[in-house]
Amino acid sequence: MKAVLLAGGFGTRLRPLSCTRPKLLFPLLGRPLVDFQLERLAQSGVDEVVIAVHHMAEILMAEIGDERYGIRIRYSIEQEPLGTGGAIRWARRYIGDEEFLAMNGDVVSDLDLRSLIDFHKSHDAAATIALYEVEDPRRFGVAVLEDDNRIRCFVEKPRDPSVGRAVNAGVYILTPDVFRYLPEQGACAIERTAFPKLAEEGKLYGFVHKGLWLDVGLPPDYLRANFALLDRQGSFISEEARVSERATVNPPVYIRRGAVIEEDAHIGPYAIIDQGVWVGRGARIEECVVFPFAHIGHHASLRGAIVGEHARIGRWVKVETNCIISDFAKIGDNATLISGVRVCPYKEVRESIFEPRIVT
Ligand code: GTP
């Protein structure tokens, strides 16, 4: 089977971290998010993937190349962003007249793609959508299911809990019939054009997934996705990392090769320290993702933050939850950044910041 992987979005909710890298190249336990998707597609018997790209297309194509995990990779390049529906329609020239899998590139899930394909084949469906039951459906579009898992309709942001909790998980099996339900040109979202019409005609089915599902939209989602994988995979400390015997490591942690952790540092729980990161004496890192080659000064304290590649955090700096320090940014010694401060790439902060804001 072939697959279309949607990778052309702007990732605006992850700014300013996404100013210097597309979302699909954000590291998940040190590997780009797109690798995680391609590996799962390969394991499910997909042999060719069309990656639909627009924003930072060149960076993605250079990084991914034309083969990964034994899968042939092609690119469908959009001159204008076409939305999820338009992107799938434009990628059709590589798919031909077969059934295919389509998925958002920013979903972290252990959805069993083989079971989804088998489910689709056992029903007379023009399309099958993977669904995920969320705790609180009030900010989503909920799929209302018949007893045989046919989707009757979608209810946007339901107030009535009896409507259900099954929301679109961003993974689909589509037949060529679906193209008749998409506008012939221009940008469109498949969720809002083809799917409601297919449901009306009784041609759309839902496959409910019960395991892990997270879509990486906002920075806390990105942290959660890393931590969820860390929980599943367990701690890892590379033999090529240098962790002082006098440092305290509270699992789970993920410490990659070339990282250096100096004495009296406290690492974890939930610290993902990428390759080549240097953590100074007495520094404390909890519930954070630190990108490659960042420098964390002596006695700095970071909690619930994301630190970009080659960023430099000075001595005795305090970084609170929901802060983002982008690639190559610098935070001067002794500064405190309260919760919600975002520092743009290459920017320097010399003084404390006591209100949540973006440093541009
Ligand atoms: P935000 O800008 O923060 O909403 O993030 P996003 O751009 O990733 O948008 P969203 O989360 O809605 O996108 C879901 C998936 O569809 C992601 O994998 C995007 O890369 C992809 N996507 C969104 N819009 C487009 C588009 O116009 N073209 C292509 N090829 N992919 C898209």
Q: What is the DSSP string of 296-314?
A: E-TT-EEES-EE-TT-EE-
In whole angstroms, what is the distance from residue 135 CA to residue 182 CA?
Answer: 31
Q: What is the tens place of the pLDDT at every residue in 154-189?
A: 998 888 888 889 999 999 999 999 999 999 999 999
Check residue 141 and give its pLDDT.
84
Q: Kindly give the parts of the chain with pLDDT less than 70.
A: none
Pairing of strands 151-156, 67-68: unpaired
Residue identifier of the C-alpha nearest atom 9 of ligand 1? 9
Q: Give the pLDDT confidence of 116-132 residue by residue, as tens digits.
A: 999 999 998 999 999 99
Burial label, 259 (beta-carbon count in 10 A; 0-12, 13-18, 19+): buried
Residue listed under structure tokens 């099958």: 128
User: Tens digit of pLDDT for each residue in 304-324?
Assistant: 999 999 999 999 999 999 999
Residues with CB under 6 A from ligand 1: 6-13, 23, 52-54, 78, 81-84, 87, 104-106, 217
Helix, strand, coil shares of the chain, percent, nearest 5, are 25, 30, 45
Domains annotated on the chain, with CATH:
2-218 (3.90.550.10), 234-359 (2.160.10.10)
Taking the alpha carbons at both ends of the chain, their separation in whole angstroms is 45
The pLDDT, as a whole number, for residue 334 is 98
Atom of ligand 1 nearest to the CA of 53: 30
Residue 149 C-alpha to ligand 1 middle, in angstroms? 27
Q: What pLDDT is attached to residue 62? A: 97
> For position 123, what pLDDT does the model report?
92
Substitution site in 59, 104, 222 for ligand 1 pocket (most atoms within 8 Å of beta carbon): 104
- Read off φ and ψ for residue 244, nearest 5 degrees: -60, 145
pLDDT at 161: 81
Q: What is the pLDDT of residue 140?
A: 84
Mutating to test ligand 1, I would choose from 80, 106, 324 the residue with most ligand atoms within 8 A of its C-beta, which is 106
What is the reported pTM?
Answer: 0.94
* Residues marked as catalytic: 157
Q: How far is the CA of 190 from the centre of ligand 1 (A)?
A: 12
